[in-house]
Amino acid sequence: MAPLVGLIMGSRSDWETLRHAAETLEALGIPYEVRVVSAHRTPDLMAEYAKTAEERGIQVIIAGAGGAAHLPGMTAAHTALPVLGVPVESRALKGLDSLLSIVQMPAGVPVGTLAIGKAGAVNAALLAASILGLKHPEILKRLKAYRKAQTEAVLAHPDPREE
Ligand code: RP5
């Protein structure tokens, strides 16, 4: 099936974080593509990717980057598709640099910013599922089942000392 989500990241080194988004999309049966697209190392590719995503059938873009993380914002500047930004934990500043770079978009071009690291990557995929669920009932159904299973897993093990 043609990809509905474009999962992009600034470097191969971001995969360790963004793979959690990929795994969550897979768990929800959402077709996606993965690309390394750097805002500063491959700026032309980034613009081309963002400008052509909609006509290729992509409906949501998840963009992860670390440090001076321009990728989500610059991608959003080139497309009206929803862009979800995942701040990757950086070595020097533990991802606070990534978070602030992504979240502090000036008014006019939004990026939906998630938490730093794995939690943000998983939640970006879940939020993409919510957005896609508005017009893909089968995705909404799988998202609801995922949430139900999560709730049941917590309720089934109320004692934290249990193995
Ligand atoms: C950003 O710089 C990437 O998103 C990555 O998080 C960070 C470091 O990249 P590498 O030096 O590991 O390629 O562009």
Residue 115 lies in a domain: yes
Ligand 1 centre distance from Cα of residue 65 (Å) = 7
pLDDT at 48: 98
Contact 112, 82 (CB under 8 A): yes
Contact 81, 59 (CB under 8 A): yes
Residue 108 lies in a domain: yes
Give the neighbor-by-neighbor strand order of the sheet with 112-113.
Answer: 32-36, 5-9, 60-66, 83-88, 112-113
Averaged pLDDT for residues 58-69: 98
pLDDT at 120: 98
For the chain, what is the domain count?
1
Q: Which domain holds residue 56?
A: 5-156
Averaged pLDDT for residues 18-28: 98
Residues 24-38: tens digit of each pLDDT: 999 999 999 999 999
Residues 85-124: tens digit of each pLDDT: 999 999 999 999 999 999 999 999 999 999 999 999 999 9
Residue 45 lies in a domain: yes
Question: Quick one: which atom of ligand 1 is closest to the CA of 88?
Answer: 6
Averaged pLDDT for residues 65-78: 98
- Average pLDDT along the chain: 98
34 backbone dihedrals φ, ψ, rounded to 5°: -125, 130
Percentage with pLDDT > 90 across the chain: 98
Ligand 1 centre distance from Cα of residue 152 (Å) = 38
pLDDT at 84: 99
CATH of the domain at 138: 3.40.50.1970
Percentage with pLDDT > 70 across the chain: 100
Residue 162 lies in a domain: no
Q: What ranges in 28-136 are assigned the alpha helix state H?
A: 43-53, 71-77, 96-103, 118-133
pLDDT at 25: 98
Question: What is d(CA 145, CA 113) in angstroms, rounded to the nearest whole number?
Answer: 25
Residue 122 lies in a domain: yes
- Type of residue found at 58: I
Length reported for the chain? 163
Closest-CA residue, ligand 1 atom 12, reads 13
Q: What are the pocket residues of ligand 1 if the criterion is a CB atom closer than 6 Å to any ligand atom?
A: 9-11, 13-14, 38, 65-67, 88
Residues 40-54: tens digit of each pLDDT: 999 999 999 999 999
The ipTM of this complex is 0.96
**Paired tokens of 125:** 């995929």
Beta partners for 127? none
Confidence of residue 163 (pLDDT cuts 50, 70, 90): confident
Ligand 1 centre distance from Cα of residue 118 (Å) = 16
- Residue of 9, 13, 35, 90 to test ligand 1 pocket, by largest number of atoms within 8 Å of CB: 13
